[in-house]
Structure 1
Amino acid sequence: MNNYTLHRIRKEFLDFFEEKDHMIKESFSLVPKSDKSLLLIIAGMAPLKPYFLGKVKPPRDRMSTCQKCVRTDDIENVGKTDRHGTFFEMLGNFSFGDYFKEEAIEWSWEFMVQRLNISKDKLWVSVYVEDEEAYEIWNRKIGVSKDRIVKLGKEDNFWELEVGPCGPSSEIYIDRGEEYSCGDEKCKPGCECDRYVEVWNLVFSQYDKDINGNYNPLPNPNIDTGMGLERITAVLNNANNIFEIEPISLIINEIEKIANIKYGDNKETDVSIRVITDHIRAMTFLISDGVLPGNEGRGYVLRRLIRRASRHGKLLGLKNKFLYELADIVIDNWKEFYNELQDKKIQIKKIIKTEEEKFEETIDQGIEILNSYIDEMKSNDENTLKGKRAFKLYDTYGFPLDLTKEILEDEGFYVDEKGFNTEMEFQRNRARNARNSDDIEAWDSKDNLDLEYNFKTEFQGYNNLSYQSKVLAIIKDNKLIEKLNENEEGYLILNNTPFYGESGGQIGDTGILENEYFKGLVYDTKRKNGNFIHLVTVKSGSIKLEDEIKASVDKLRRNDIARNHSATHILHKSLKIILGEHVNQAGSLVTDERLRFDFTHYESLTEEQLTEIEQLVNKQIFDSLKVKVMEKSMEEAKDMGAIALFDEKYDNKVRVVKMGDYSMELCGGTHVDNISQIGMFKIISESGVASGVRRIEAITGRRVYDMFVKMEKQINDVTFILKTNKNGIVEKTKATIEEIKSLEKEIETLKSKIADSKIEDLLDEVYNLDGINIITKRIDGLDINGLRQLGDKLKERLDNVIIVLATKKDDKVNLIAMATKDSVKLGIHCGNIIREVAKVTGGGGGGRPNMAQAGGKDSSKIEEALSIVEDLVKEQINK
């Protein structure tokens, strides 16, 4: 079966298993959902783990997918061989307690022989050495001769993790012919040569391995199979590797075209071509699934791929950005099956281009510095780059450690990775300390609360802002005490509280605790080790253990906080709509004054985008969306489509906050009942806080009103000053600015005339010293620009001249020194002269040999300062 394209084989496979009553599921995202054990999806079964583990009921007991995958374990070898790659597609069929070995084996054989038309004579299989059941099915049921069934050990034919579902596997091999053989007459599957290529792995999950290493039979065994789409396509087309099959070869064709080289002509350029060809697919698919370049996690994987490909482009002589245009080949040729590529085409290309630009700004300088390090190591007969130097390349010039290692390896050198990691940890500690310094001051008290007590507080604050409570604990100086007296400060823990404890980015409540004998002000509320802790100052009376009190939250402040918190949810959804689905929350702060929302995005927002976002948020407010809060299990919440933060920890029971049909997120914070209660939303700033992370700060409700009142007062003040009305303020301002510009031009003209009037007087004061003409003069009233203009005109009239002028303006001394080219050739250096002159007036400055300026403090010393010019000139020309 020659000329089978990658796309055709994918379709044949999925169609085949659909006929076998399998549910055909689209590829899951490369970003794992609710699986922190994986950075990226690396196998077809990875997104289906909850079904295999029995944690979630699958939509069907039979499923089949073509799953996109990314593996970076061997990224250093990508390009150096024609076998290694990062991105690939994995074909698979799965059974969750339905069919087992017999059907899985029978259908795999049917697909290979009848659908792909592969000759039976080319097929071999392997089984686990102890799996007689699979052996018998292959031999007796399918009819594969015993000499074509190879029994292999655990290392080759048994799939398992430390604990959990596991089992034997069976692999299907294609014999490529004797020309690929190692020459051993006993050569067969399991040999390291290239003759037998494993194309399909059938895993029979029939055991549950416990912590003691026991293999317990599963009541409902599973089937998990995987066949690399690129590999089977290459084998069926008699291609030597995946780079020779369509449409991957189309990427190579385009690189040949733009780099004006031929693949296969040169080993070194072939490496670079393969790197770019592989990496462009990986980066395009990663971005389409919402990954952004960054310095950690999957963001770092993406950045590493882009920068590695960009560097290899430079090795091919490509000076300009090219990867973002090369992405078109991937998008155009894979979009039919992965429509997200087309949907996010603009975003994909823009992110790649932005990252290319960032890298381009520093790579040349970084490579130059690294080359200097290499030269130094060679001269010192060293072979290891110091960790500090590797970290400087990373921190200052954006060089990933892997790129530094790769360049050094080409020269036979190494990196002190331990030293690099030490520097990285230093940086993390500095960042951590900086973050800690931003903590709320109220909790940086001398008490330094280190709470190890565990009291049960029931939070009643979602539906109540006032509640009858009992004092469970009083803490002062990190000790449990019996009582707090008037004017004392301490921490109170109650059995019930309406006070929200700071968490999830929302600050803690404030308010009042009181009974007929006591009144205390709550300045802040936090959660620590599961406790709600109230920082209280006793204003009157005293409070003791077991006292009954009324706890009342500051309602006005809580409502302001709720407005801002609800606004962050609407903002999050609006950002996704305007900027793209790659936007995800990266942090937040919700106070009564404002909200701060950090989100993943690759570039600063334009004024137009900010306006769109602001308008979209306000539209939801004006549409009066109802807010519905539900308690659900985590799985129910996911099924509903609620947004969860990837790095956030959630209990089995979660709160789902739904705002109309617009937004639905998991959130434990407090919210308005209807979005209209937010009143209005106004963005006040947008900025970058880290690589790939932007920040929006905004205000709502009363704060927006306060801002409008303040702005109106400022407008009224301006209209009064400009002597106009509000409707004419813009035109009046424009006219005033034009008038100021006109007056400034007139002033400059007058200054020029003043300078001209002084030229003749100054020419009369020129004196000559050993061939050098010298002019020194104090001219008050001129600014530094006026002195410069005067000096330029004097230079036009004289040869071999050094001019030093001074002025006093607004109680400041300005000094300038200027010299013609011929006087500079004689040894004059204006920068050195003006520095010494300025010192006399208590100032400083410097500059070039032909031009320098300085400032001073003591205007009474100007004449004394100018008097030393002659001696300075003598020193310079007599050296």
Structure 2
Amino acid sequence: MQTHEIRNRFIQHFVKAGHTEVPSASLVLDDPNLLFVNAGMVPFKPYFLGHQTPEFNTATSIQKCVRTLDIEEVGITTRHNTFFQMAGNFSFGDYFKEGAIKHAWSLLTGSIEDGGFGIPAEKLWVTVYLDDDEAHDIWANKVGVPEDHIQRRGMADNYWSMGVPGPCGPCSEIFYDRGPEYGVDGGPEADEDRYIEIWNLVFMQNERGEGTGKDSFEILGPLPKQNIDTGMGIERVAFLLQGVDNVYETDLLRPVINAAEELTGSTYNANHADDIRFRVIADHSRTGLMLMLDGVTPSNSDRGYILRRLLRRIVRSARLLGAKGEVLDRLIGVAAETMTPSYPEIADNWERIRRVAVAEEKAFTKTLAAGEELFAQAATKAKSEGKTILSGHDAFTLHDTHGFPIDLTIEMAEEAGLTIDRAEFDREMAEQRARAKADSQAKKKSHTDLHVYREFIDNNPTVFTGYDRLADESTVVGIVSGGEKTSSASEGEEVELILDRTPLYAESGGQMADRGRIVTADGAIVDINDVQKVGKKLWLHKGIVTAGEFAAGVAAEAQVDEKWRHGARQAHTATHLIHAALREVLGQTATQAGSMNKPGYLRFDFKYGEQLTADQLRQIEEITNEAVDRDWAVNTTEMPLEEAKAAGAMALFSENYGDVVRVVEIGGPFSMELCGGTHVAHSSQIGPVSVLGEASVGSGVRRIEAYSGLDSFRYLTTERLLAERLATEFKAPSAELPDRIAALADKLKAAEKQLADLKAGQLLANAASHLDSARTIGDVTYLGLNLPAGTGMKDIRSLATDLSKRLADRPSVVALIADGGQKVPFVVAVSDQAVDKGVKAGNLVKLMGEKVGGKGGGKPSMAQGSGSDASGIEAALAAIESELA
């Protein structure tokens, strides 16, 4: 049974049982505890935590998940993936243990013809929590599982929580018996390689307190409602139903291994070490694909670092298997082919994904080249010191600082006749992991307490009326101050007002919140400086009481600052036009990666791997302003999500949309996007749009900035006045200014070069006179000079080389230094005869660096460096003298 069919059977089974199908959320969610979604229940956490009321009592989903705690272990075991699909069914106060158990059992054991998986009942074992007699009774007496196929296990195995204070409860796990050829008899307690867990049914009934680990926390008491959270591993069920030995040989991953065999010339199932590398390639290719699909790009921190590490492990593994050229394009392409039937959005985003992957491989190829050079230096040093072991510290520095994989370091060491001090390397790796884990735990925190808002979310959701009006009559249904609900607030207090209806826009979709005020008939006023959403349904109006006293239940008028709203509308609508212009100029893969707009200003992040040219920026600005000039109507329509997508509306796959969405259309096919923001009525109301420029904000992501409306006009006025002033200074029309300025810059560069050449020539011409300052210290001739201020490194190095040659007939040391302005450059040159006596330039420049607040390095005969403290120049020269003495 193909994986895509397994997915469909699961969803259809629960839809027929009355569950609402919920699409997978993005792998990237705004959660303080998670880099990526790592479990099927994560998108439903607000419901389980009581922060939001679900729109359904039961739901089913197949959630994309990524777990990266043990990346180094991938491929060693044959049942774990970094990316996996978690099929789940959920009950929010509806059915409980019996319902969850019977739903799972009927799907697993139901016949193929009836839509089930057709697994023989005798192949299945179940576990329950130690004292969960209710679950045990259901399995034994209502489902009919034999007693000898039910095992009770402790808290570490069969009690679930999120790892932080919140919902928790006992669970029941379902295992599949692979047969005696895979291990010993005796059920999951005896052997979890033979008995594979395929489904976990969590009976969420309690609330846990503080604590660490899986079994060292306090149970505080029962939850108000009993909930069900289950998870069935699609990949695990797939390898069992497809009759293969492990998750890497299923229809989704084996094609990637086949492609890797073609690229490398190696064979899968030939030896264990190579098999691990093939599995790493297959697993990471799919995970990297899905992360890039959801907008992650390679970087040196957080999510981007994980992606970079995965992609580079693919390249490394392929090289160790024998690959000679680039591999990511092909490998991730095959992963895309296997995953597209379940995730059709891959096809729409493939060119962007491919471009990011190829660029990362090219960058890593350069890293490998640099790493090989650094390795060569370390190996040469070790051999020169008569060592056969390369220090673990050097190997760790290559791995951690320069991104050079340890496997390649070991391989190159063997080729050079060296071994790695692996114990020292592992020790430093363990220390780094401990630091990272401690940092992760420090950042981990309990979920924000939103219970103060819960009654309002359930009973008084805010009605937003701001699309049609700038003022509206409201009732103050609640007041929150200092995190606590209060009945009133007086002048000077900072408050959050909750209204039954409001025209003030709450920050979302990149648009900043409205500014405004809330006033009562008796003159009480709150100046609103921010509006935020809670639970997607409640507007919190944040501000300061500037007059009178507010009380819960009072009637009030909410007023939007009209000037602020007008500027915000202009900028937000301009953002849509710039997005459309970007796609017209750069292609359809230049999609949104984030935005921010406020009155008069916008910034727009988009996925693109190259710097834009001046001509591309000009085209984007021109197309945007042409759209403004055409005075297109800005039409907004509400429609079902699938209908909106079918009509061509742009949707971000990292966003969660409801069943009914708001579509903003400008100029027919020119721009059509899902958007909940506020907009002008016609494009001409935006006014001029001035593109300020663009820059990189991360690997594969660029940012464009622009002004709109009066801010754009003011910017253009300033630019015009500047051009007029320059035209006056140069006595030339403004159209000729670029050529005039370029010519002047060329003349200036030529003059600077000529001056530099003259200074260098003068330094060298006076070289012979400097020899008179040389003196003998012991049996070494020493020449130390403080050169004229402003002398640069290039000239210092040339003079040092010249003077060293003049003193090459004896043991000699030349030390030169100068106050270069912002830096203090210095060079030490040592003759071969002095090197033979043990004098090394690299050691001497370190002494100089200590005195001038800098550092340096180089070869024994020539080294250089720079510092920042010119007051230490004489001390630096004296340090050389002292060392030679």
TM-score (norm 2): 0.59
Cα distance change, pair 213–573 in 1 and its aligned pair in 2 (3 A): farther
Match of 1:682 in 2: 690
Match of 1:73 in 2: 69
Cα distance change, pair 532–148 in 1 and its aligned pair in 2 (3 A): closer
- Kept after mapping to 1: 8 A contact 2:289/2:332: yes
Question: Does residue 610 of structure 2 align to residue 603 of structure 1?
Answer: yes
- Kept after mapping to 1: 8 A contact 2:565/2:599: no
Cα distance change, pair 28–402 in 1 and its aligned pair in 2 (3 A): farther
Match of 1:82 in 2: 78
Question: Does residue 295 of structure 2 align to residue 290 of structure 1?
Answer: yes
Note the C-alpha offset of 1:135.
Answer: 1.4
**In structure 2, how many angstroms separate the alpha carbons of the residues matched to 1:392 and 1:263?**
30
- Further displaced range: 254-263 or 311-320: 311-320
Question: Does residue 146 of structure 2 align to residue 138 of structure 1?
Answer: no
Match of 1:858 in 2: none
**In structure 1, how many angstroms separate the alpha carbons of the residues matched to 2:696 and 2:221?**
53
Question: Which one-letter code corresponds to 1:295 in the other structure?
Answer: N
Match of 1:278 in 2: 283
Match of 1:156 in 2: 157
Give structure 1 stretches of 5+ with no counterpart. 426-461, 465-491, 496-502, 510-524, 535-553, 630-640, 648-655, 741-783, 786-806, 818-830, 853-875
Q: Secondary structure at the match of 1:344?
A: helix
Larger Rg: 1
- Kept after mapping to 2: 8 A contact 1:586/1:600: no
Match of 1:202 in 2: 201
Question: Which one-letter code corresponds to 2:220 in the other structure?
Answer: N
Match of 2:594 in 1: 585
Match of 1:316 in 2: 321
Superimposed CA distance per residue, residues 308-338 of structure 1 (whole angstroms, 9 cap, x where no aligned partner):
2122222223232211222221111211110
Question: Does residue 187 of structure 2 align to residue 213 of structure 1?
Answer: no
Match of 2:256 in 1: 251
Question: Which one-letter code corresponds to 1:153 in the other structure?
Answer: G
**In structure 2, how many angstroms separate the alpha carbons of the residues matched to 1:75 and 1:332?**
24
Cα distance change, pair 687–836 in 1 and its aligned pair in 2 (3 A): farther
Match of 2:180 in 1: 178
Give structure 2 stretches of 5+ with no counterpart. 211-217, 412-419, 439-468, 472-491, 496-507, 516-528, 532-541, 547-560, 637-648, 656-661, 744-748, 771-786, 803-830, 832-885
Question: Which one-letter code corresponds to 2:45 in the other structure?
Answer: K
Question: Which one-letter code corresponds to 2:344 in the other structure?
Answer: N
Question: Which one-letter code corresponds to 2:173 in the other structure?
Answer: E
Question: Which one-letter code corresponds to 1:232 in the other structure?
Answer: V
- Kept after mapping to 2: 8 A contact 1:168/1:203: yes
Cα distance change, pair 142–576 in 1 and its aligned pair in 2 (3 A): farther
Trace 1:211-360 onto structure 2 (pairs within 5 A).
Answer: 213-219=219-225, 221-360=226-365
Question: Which one-letter code corresponds to 1:198 in the other structure?
Answer: E
Cα distance change, pair 581–340 in 1 and its aligned pair in 2 (3 A): farther
Cα distance change, pair 689–165 in 1 and its aligned pair in 2 (3 A): closer
Superimposed CA distance per residue, residues 421-461 of structure 1 (whole angstroms, 9 cap, x where no aligned partner):
999x9xxxxxxxxxxxxxxxxxxxxxxxxxxxxxxxxxxxx
**In structure 1, how many angstroms separate the alpha carbons of the residues matched to 2:627 and 2:193?**
62
**In structure 2, how many angstroms separate the alpha carbons of the residues matched to 1:118 and 1:508?**
57
Q: Secondary structure at the match of 1:385?
A: helix
- Kept after mapping to 2: 8 A contact 1:658/1:664: yes
Cα distance change, pair 628–196 in 1 and its aligned pair in 2 (3 A): same
Cα distance change, pair 690–53 in 1 and its aligned pair in 2 (3 A): closer
Superimposed CA distance per residue, residues 751-809 of structure 1 (whole angstroms, 9 cap, x where no aligned partner):
xxxxxxxxxxxxxxxxxxxxxxxxxxxxxxxxx99xxxxxxxxxxxxxxxxxxxxx9x9
Out of 702, 722, 725, the residue aligned to residue 713 of structure 2 is 702
**In structure 1, how many angstroms separate the alpha carbons of the residues matched to 2:310 and 2:672?**
35
Note the C-alpha offset of 1:242.
Answer: 0.9
Question: Which one-letter code corresponds to 1:687 in the other structure?
Answer: A
Q: Secondary structure at the match of 2:311?
A: helix
Question: Which one-letter code corresponds to 2:125 in the other structure?
Answer: W
**In structure 1, how many angstroms separate the alpha carbons of the residues matched to 2:653 and 2:198?**
38
Match of 2:12 in 1: 15
- Kept after mapping to 2: 8 A contact 1:234/1:244: yes
Tell me: higher relative CO, structure 1 or 2? Use CA pairs within 8 A at least 6 residues apart: 2
Note the C-alpha offset of 1:29.
Answer: 1.4
Count the aligned residue pairs: 637
**In structure 2, how many angstroms separate the alpha carbons of the residues matched to 1:168 and 1:361?**
51
Trace 1:815-854 onto structure 2 (pairs within 5 A).
Answer: none
Question: Which one-letter code corresponds to 2:171 in the other structure?
Answer: S
Note the C-alpha offset of 1:239.
Answer: 2.1
Match of 1:633 in 2: none
**In structure 2, how many angstroms separate the alpha carbons of the residues matched to 1:420 and 1:180?**
33
- Kept after mapping to 1: 8 A contact 2:297/2:698: no
Match of 1:791 in 2: none
Trace 1:550-561 onto structure 2 (pairs within 5 A).
Answer: none
Trace 1:456-605 onto structure 2 (pairs within 5 A).
Answer: 567=574, 571=578, 580=589, 583-585=592-594, 601-605=608-612
Superimposed CA distance per residue, residues 165-213 of structure 1 (whole angstroms, 9 cap, x where no aligned partner):
322211211111112223xx6x222224522111111122233446763
Note the C-alpha offset of 1:251.
Answer: 0.6
Note the C-alpha offset of 1:142.
Answer: 1.6
Match of 1:758 in 2: none
Note the C-alpha offset of 1:229.
Answer: 1.2
Superimposed CA distance per residue, residues 670-713 of structure 1 (whole angstroms, 9 cap, x where no aligned partner):
99887534422232422235545534343443146437856996
Match of 1:744 in 2: none
Out of 5, 29, 36, the residue aligned to residue 26 of structure 2 is 29
Match of 1:828 in 2: none
Note the C-alpha offset of 1:150.
Answer: 1.2
**In structure 1, how many angstroms separate the alpha carbons of the residues matched to 2:768 and 2:694?**
47
- Kept after mapping to 1: 8 A contact 2:470/2:562: no
Instruction: Provide the alpha-carbon RMSD of the alignment.
Output: 5.9
**In structure 2, how many angstroms separate the alpha carbons of the residues matched to 1:531 and 1:421?**
43
Cα distance change, pair 705–140 in 1 and its aligned pair in 2 (3 A): same
- Kept after mapping to 1: 8 A contact 2:389/2:421: no
Q: Secondary structure at the match of 1:351?
A: helix
Out of 106, 113, 137, the residue aligned to residue 102 of structure 2 is 106
- Kept after mapping to 2: 8 A contact 1:816/1:834: no
Question: Which one-letter code corresponds to 1:31 in the other structure?
Answer: V
Superimposed CA distance per residue, residues 534-567 of structure 1 (whole angstroms, 9 cap, x where no aligned partner):
9xxxxxxxxxxxxxxxxxxx99999989966874
- Kept after mapping to 2: 8 A contact 1:680/1:704: no
Question: Which one-letter code corresponds to 2:629 in the other structure?
Answer: F
Match of 1:122 in 2: 123
- Kept after mapping to 1: 8 A contact 2:75/2:276: yes
TM-score (norm 1): 0.59
Superimposed CA distance per residue, residues 566-610 of structure 1 (whole angstroms, 9 cap, x where no aligned partner):
74575467658866576333778x797x76666665432355653
